Structure 1
Amino acid sequence: MEQLCFGVDIGGTAVKVGLFTTEGRLVEKWDFATRKTKEGKEILKDVADFIKEKIQILKLDMGSILGIGIGLPGPVKDNGEVLELPNMGLGHFNIEKEMQELIGLKVKAANDANIAALGEQWQGSGKGYHNMVLITLGTGVGGGVILKDAILAGSNGAGGEIGHMLVNYKEKDRCGCGKRGCLEQYASATGIVRMAKRSLSSNNKASALQNIDNISAKIVFDLAKEGDALAQDIVSEACRYLGIACANIAQVIDPEAFIIGGGVSKAGEVLTDQIKEYYEINVMDALKNKDFKLAVLGNDAGIYGGARLILASNG
């Protein structure tokens, strides 16, 4: 009898679910809208009911299912304790205990960015590395650290919050976290747009950006590839701060590789090449020549990581 497991990625707008073999083959995947009612408790029931329904429809033997791995958008302690998920209305609770009671299967949970890193390490661009860092460049900057094939979660499950590393002591604008000079202010999609608007107001270089009302990170990267000097400066600045951040991370954990994901990573090798260039300038000699790669699992990284999480907990 083939053994299987479920990987679940609970997001603010949608819940993604995947059914996997123990070798990492994705058998089938689904998604459904996240329901936010009654202080968020409906979310857990919805996930349990959805999986139980799929088990019935697919006529799966409960004995063949090793469990469920879940990613959540917030810190999760190693024992499954969640202190708070404010965006979902969930307060202090134990996700593993409550889900196990709802579904009757073993449950293991972790932060969503951390399980995305685990997914990329298992079946994505990080395959073959035992120590790696995933950096996701989207609306914000997230990350996950894998050391010796396991998530580095920290004491409260908040390890890997790469986006709020301080990279510019001179910044005067505040980040959404309340600090100033965070990586997220320069390397996220919103950060790149912020830098573009700032550059347009203070720079005399002629640029196609001056004729665009709704600037996006994609537009900035596209113009940079076409040779627009101002756009190239903005991309270079974002990559410089990313290179500095990666150098600082390497000097603490010494990974084999950095995997760059998220919507901004669609810019391609123009991004990874420049990050690596600035990394080499800012890192000590003993830590040079790390690999920099683009993530390949996209939005499925979380469900892959969830599956890997539960498989690892079963030994």
Structure 2
Amino acid sequence: MDDKKLIGIDLGGTTTKFAIITPAGEVQQRWSIETDILEDGQHIIPNIIDSINHHLDLYQMKSEQFIGIGMGSPGSVDLAAGTVSGAYNLNWEGTVYPKRDIEAATHIDFKIDNDANVAALGERWQGAGDNDPDVTFVTLGTGVGGGVIADGHLLHGVAGSAGELGHITVQPGGYLCTCGKRGCLEQYASATGVVHIARDMAEEYSGDAQLKFMVDDGQDVSSKTVFDLAKDNDPLASKVVDRVCFYLGLALANVGNMLNPKYIVIGGGVSAAGDILLNGVQKYFEENTFPNVRHTTALRLATLGNEAGVIGAASLVLQDQQE
């Protein structure tokens, strides 16, 4: 089996990434295609199949040379059935059958899980999680997602919603979330949440600050803008970053108190802010954790970047063999 390979697929709303990976986690080939979400996303699975078959021809490889295909997908995933439903950013409102269709067309075993879960598996296996059996992953992008690995097992919960860290309530009665409730972490620590906080705090701020000038002037402000200005000691941006770090630190302290993982890994686009984010979150994490957790659970920044999804997806194929 050691000479057989894995295929990892990271299905996103804009791009679908692929990789051929060894069972040891080494990425040997990578490629990507645009995700065609037109016409209710009906082209997505056929395009994935065509791309896999084209690249196997290109590399002169056959289906028997693969242990399996793993895929991370947005939406609600039924692991046993291999289906996805409610992936609205893919225009998949109903149920789609990736496992059935991809296995039939490629003759390779197929596994699927939620995209945040597979990113957690990737960071745990080949990234900042050091392959420890207890790792929690939080991804800060346009939303906030997460994945929890405990005693070596990815947790799904009774209905697949374990690890929904973005919906931990950090501000009761706060900003309205797309999920329908108020005060979710996603509304405060995502890229859009950072900008929301910045705009609200700029309205109340009466001092001189570049961030206030930019907001009042109607200029485009991103989460990266806010963190870059904070690194330059802009007084308003520093207050915004401190507020974001408070909410994220509080949420991760609650995760730490409940699960006591070896590592809580912070990934996603917002994590590119680096130490200014990590150090700020660490402060509030320590303030809100049980002493034993404070000394045994470490916060880390993710290291795999865009490869976490394909590596974690590929590792789904190995899960049954590792248990």
TM over 0.5, shorter chain: yes
Distance 1:182 1:86 in 2: 20
1:189–1:39: structure 2 CA closer, same or farther, 3 Å change rule? closer
> Tell me, what secondary structure is at the counterpart of 1:182?
coil
Q: Which moved more, 1:124-133 or 1:104-113?
A: 124-133
> In the alignment, which residue of structure 2 is the partner of 1:199?
201
Q: Which moved more, 1:21-30 or 1:217-226?
A: 217-226
> In the alignment, which residue of structure 2 is the partner of 1:179?
181
Q: Following TM superposition, by how much is the alpha carbon of 1:61 offset from its aligned partner in structure 2, in angstroms?
A: 3.3
Name the amino acid aligned to 1:134.
F
Name the amino acid aligned to 2:187.
Q
Distance 2:67 2:109 in 1: 7
> In the alignment, which residue of structure 2 is the partner of 1:268?
274
Q: Following TM superposition, by how much is the alpha carbon of 1:105 offset from its aligned partner in structure 2, in angstroms?
A: 0.7
Name the amino acid aligned to 2:317.
I
> In the alignment, which residue of structure 2 is the partner of 1:142?
145
Contact 2:63/2:107 (CA < 8 Å) preserved in 1?
no
Contact 2:263/2:298 (CA < 8 Å) preserved in 1?
yes
Q: Following TM superposition, by how much is the alpha carbon of 1:130 offset from its aligned partner in structure 2, in angstroms?
A: 1.3
Distance 2:60 2:48 in 1: 18
User: Which sections of structure 2, spanning at least 5 residues, go unmatched?
Assistant: none
Q: Following TM superposition, by how much is the alpha carbon of 1:98 offset from its aligned partner in structure 2, in angstroms?
A: 2.9
Name the amino acid aligned to 2:3.
E
- Indicate the RMSD between aligned Cα atoms, in angstroms: 1.6
Q: Following TM superposition, by how much is the alpha carbon of 1:314 offset from its aligned partner in structure 2, in angstroms?
A: 4.2
Distance 2:46 2:220 in 1: 40
Are 2:305 and 1:298 equivalent residues in the alignment? yes
Distance 1:196 1:181 in 2: 16
> In the alignment, which residue of structure 2 is the partner of 1:96?
99
The correspondence of residues 88-167 of structure 1 with structure 2, limited to 5 A, is: 88-90=90-92, 91-167=94-170
Residue by residue over 1:65-111, the C-alpha shift from the partner in whole angstroms, topping out at 9 and shown as x without a partner, is 10100000112123123333233233224432332122211000000
Q: Following TM superposition, by how much is the alpha carbon of 1:37 offset from its aligned partner in structure 2, in angstroms?
A: 4.2
> In the alignment, which residue of structure 2 is the partner of 1:309?
316
Residue by residue over 1:249-298, the C-alpha shift from the partner in whole angstroms, topping out at 9 and shown as x without a partner, is 12222211111111111111111111111011111222113211111111
Q: Following TM superposition, by how much is the alpha carbon of 1:170 offset from its aligned partner in structure 2, in angstroms?
A: 4.0
Are 2:243 and 1:237 equivalent residues in the alignment? yes
Q: Following TM superposition, by how much is the alpha carbon of 1:134 offset from its aligned partner in structure 2, in angstroms?
A: 1.1
Name the amino acid aligned to 1:81.
T
> Tell me, what secondary structure is at the counterpart of 2:79?
coil
> In the alignment, which residue of structure 1 is the partner of 2:29?
28
Contact 1:20/1:26 (CA < 8 Å) preserved in 2?
yes
Distance 1:45 1:158 in 2: 28
User: Which sections of structure 1, spanning at least 5 residues, go unmatched?
Assistant: none
Contact 2:155/2:162 (CA < 8 Å) preserved in 1?
yes
Number of residue-to-residue matches in the alignment: 314
Name the amino acid aligned to 2:46.
K
Contact 1:66/1:310 (CA < 8 Å) preserved in 2?
yes
Distance 2:286 2:185 in 1: 18
Contact 1:75/1:156 (CA < 8 Å) preserved in 2?
no
Residue by residue over 1:181-237, the C-alpha shift from the partner in whole angstroms, topping out at 9 and shown as x without a partner, is 111111111111111111111122321112212222112111212222221111111
Residue by residue over 1:7-54, the C-alpha shift from the partner in whole angstroms, topping out at 9 and shown as x without a partner, is 001111111000001111100100001122453332112111211111
Distance 1:275 1:120 in 2: 19
Distance 1:128 1:136 in 2: 18
Distance 2:104 2:151 in 1: 31
> In the alignment, which residue of structure 2 is the partner of 1:259?
265
Q: Which moved more, 1:144-153 or 1:303-312?
A: 144-153
